[in-house]
Amino acid sequence: MSSDKSNETPKIKTADNDNTTSIKFTDLALSKEVLKAVEEAGYEAPSAIQAEAIPHLLEGHDLMGQAQTGTGKTAAFALPLLSRLDMSSKDTQILVLAPTRELAIQVAENMQTYARHLKGFHVMPIYGGQSISIQLKQLRRGAQVVVGTPGRVMDHLRRKTLKLGNLKAMVLDEADEMLRMGFIDDVETILKETPASRQTVLFSATMPNAIKRITQKYLNNPVDIKVKTKTSTVSTITQYYWSGKTGHKLDVLTRLLEAEEFGGIIIFVRTKNMTTELAEKLSARGYAALPLNGDVQQSMREKIVNRLKKGSLDIIVATDVVARGLDVERITHVINYDMPADNESYVHRIGRTGRAGRKGTAILFVPPNGKRALAGIERATGQKIEPLKLPSPQDISEARINRFKDMVIETAASQKLEFYQNIITDLAKDSELSLEEITATLAFLVQRDRPLLITPRDNIPETKLGDSSERGNQRGRRDGRDRDSRDSRDKRGRSDNRGDRNSRSNKRRKGETQPGMVTYRLAVGKSHGTEPRHIVGAIANEAGVESQYIQNIDINTDFSTVDLPDGMPKEIENHLKGVRVMGEKLQLRKFTGEQGRKKSHDKPENRK
């Protein structure tokens, strides 16, 4: 079915993507189910591109948006399109094309999150490297939303296993990337197989001629939204980044707080839920910290800011929205605990310090696979962000000792201590302990929960950008492209079952645990009806581990093995032991090389 559309002059909307919009999600006429999911996720206000795009998409207009990765464009199209779904039908109503399997999985996961209150909702990611039989089964069951790479979508169209006759909307995500990877002809073929009445949405960081031709041919009088970049940082702000595993972030943060001399600090996170959670954890570790989010009433917000100004409060954990316009002279550090949504948000955040000529420090926490996002911030700001050298155990010990000495001197100067001096004198006589031994014992008791001496084993391992985890992702992207290309050339429609084990196992040589990963044993297997997706879902949801770090799943008769990031906190390990899959507890524990998967390094001397 041809889907060419007449194209009038597009209505151009320019969005200043600096997250300064006063619009809230409640102002955008989203369905109550979708809005409830957004509120539960803790998001308070839409980004500029979301505020601009959502109303037009809710009205059914075609749209082309020019925006960089990380501007919130997934929610910009997902929220309004999900709000318009007909939940009485299991037909595929939304098709999203993405250039890589990683992006397809990410978009599908976001769709599932936003649609969590839509009863009977199903989203299906389809991509090369995954078992075709699994995809066939789930497509027969029905999925209102399909997110796929072009090659695998083409394959299902040839098999007639993906039916688009009732398609309402189609999204081309990262269109220029699909052009660069050679998929643009496949994209155009797929567009021709969709109803002419469909709503079409295209997002692209750039608009080369081939993409413009697509928009002119297949989009009907589209609204044209461009995110206008406004990025500039001041020279008085020194910028650093630290890259490492999510499980180490809190320890890194607290060590920085111990080693750094600071006045006031703002720590930025993505959601209001996280403001409360992190503030409570910092308070439990002895820091004066409070959350600042959209649920905090204006009167309380003013009290919190005044406390920060006066010095009775040192740390505010905040979301982007509520920190707008915050100007406190004491703020010496801004810490991006969560990556900002976009480059402009980063500039806005760090601008809370280094104001009026004062010096400030900005620290950005970057996940191991965040090299691309970091490079984007550096390009946008025109400034190099230097890697942060973490304080060593010796640095922490020295800082604690100095603070202890200062505490003793200040207390001696400000308090009346005769009563305690008499007790010490009597104790020295009665016990035959020297004054030095008594004071050392008291110092130990005071610092028992926070020892003055940090041992080297307490150090945090360095993780550099581009380490094995990032290279694995790069290999996965190349593998996804190659497989999709092979799928699109497979005219005979043969089933590709190479991914039956798990698509993630294609990222490394079969059976080998990659550097930075640890193999765990799970007490569920084929006899329980366990499939890789059950394990990925349970671990991702319960432990907060991103799906790309759940690797090498091997399902045996009565047990399974899976590779997870090294350094996973003990409390998460303990929690996963009780998580159930197919009605059985995972009973997660480190794999010791028993019968089952054989590994290249499974020698007894290498197993503990």
Q: Quickly state the pLDDT bin for 436 (edges 50, 70, 90).
A: confident
501-606 has the same fold as 11-228: no
Tell me the CB-side half-sphere exposure of residue 310, using CA atoms within 13 A: 7
User: How far is it, in rounded angstroms, from Cα 397 to Cα 592?
Assistant: 36
Q: Quickly state the pLDDT bin for 21 (edges 50, 70, 90).
A: low
Mean pLDDT of 252-262: 85
Residues 593/602, Cβ–Cβ less than 8 Å? yes
Residue 500, SS3 per DSSP: coil
- Give the pLDDT confidence score for residue 455 in this predicted structure: 59
Q: Give the lowest-confidence range in 29-38, 90-99, 487-496.
A: 487-496
Partners of 226 in beta bridges: 14, 66
User: How far is it, in rounded angstroms, from Cα 97 to Cα 493?
Assistant: 20
User: How far is it, in rounded angstroms, from Cα 411 to Cα 317?
Assistant: 30
Q: Quickly state the pLDDT bin for 324 (edges 50, 70, 90).
A: low
- Give the pLDDT confidence score for residue 162 in this predicted structure: 92
Query: pLDDT: is 45 or 19 the higher one?
Result: 45
Is residue 225's pLDDT more than 80?
yes
Is residue 497's pLDDT more than 50?
no
Q: How far is CA 222 from CA 13, 138, 581, 600, in A?
A: 11, 33, 46, 55
Q: Quickly state the pLDDT bin for 41 (edges 50, 70, 90).
A: confident
- Give the pLDDT confidence score for residue 144 in this predicted structure: 95
Is residue 490's pLDDT more than 70?
no
CATH level 3 topology of 11-228: Rossmann fold (3.40.50)
User: How far is it, in rounded angstroms, from Cα 192 to Cα 511?
Assistant: 42
Residues 453/396, Cβ–Cβ less than 8 Å? no
Mean pLDDT of 233-258: 84
Is residue 223's pLDDT more than 80?
yes
User: How far is it, in rounded angstroms, from Cα 469 to Cα 573?
Assistant: 21
- Give the pLDDT confidence score for residue 491 in this predicted structure: 37
Is residue 336's pLDDT more than 90?
yes
User: How far is it, in rounded angstroms, from Cα 345 to Cα 67?
Assistant: 14
Is residue 595's pLDDT more than 70?
no
The amino acid that residue 214 corresponds to is: I
- Give the pLDDT confidence score for residue 272 in this predicted structure: 82
Residues 308/333, Cβ–Cβ less than 8 Å? no
Q: Quickly state the pLDDT bin for 476 (edges 50, 70, 90).
A: very low
Residues 123/155, Cβ–Cβ less than 8 Å? no
CATH of 237-390, one of 3.90.550.10, 3.40.50.300, 2.60.120.10, 3.30.450.40: 3.40.50.300
- Give the pLDDT confidence score for residue 356 in this predicted structure: 60
CATH architecture of 501-606: 2-Layer Sandwich (3.30)
Residue 257, SS3 per DSSP: helix
Give the gyration radius of the chain's Cα atoms.
28
Is residue 552's pLDDT more than 70?
yes
Chain-centre distance for alpha carbon 510 = 27
- Give the pLDDT confidence score for residue 22 in this predicted structure: 66
Length of the chain: 608
pLDDT tens by residue, 149-188: 998 999 999 999 999 999 999 999 989 888 888 888 899 9
User: The tokens of 558 are what?
Assistant: 């009565």
Neighbours of 195 (CB within 10 A): 14
DSSP assignment string, 352-372: TSSGGG--EEEEEEE-TT-HH
Domain range summary for the chain, segments of one domain joined by +? 11-228, 237-390, 394-458, 501-606
User: How far is it, in rounded angstroms, from Cα 331 to Cα 262?
Assistant: 8
| E strands in 383-523 | 386-387, 517-522
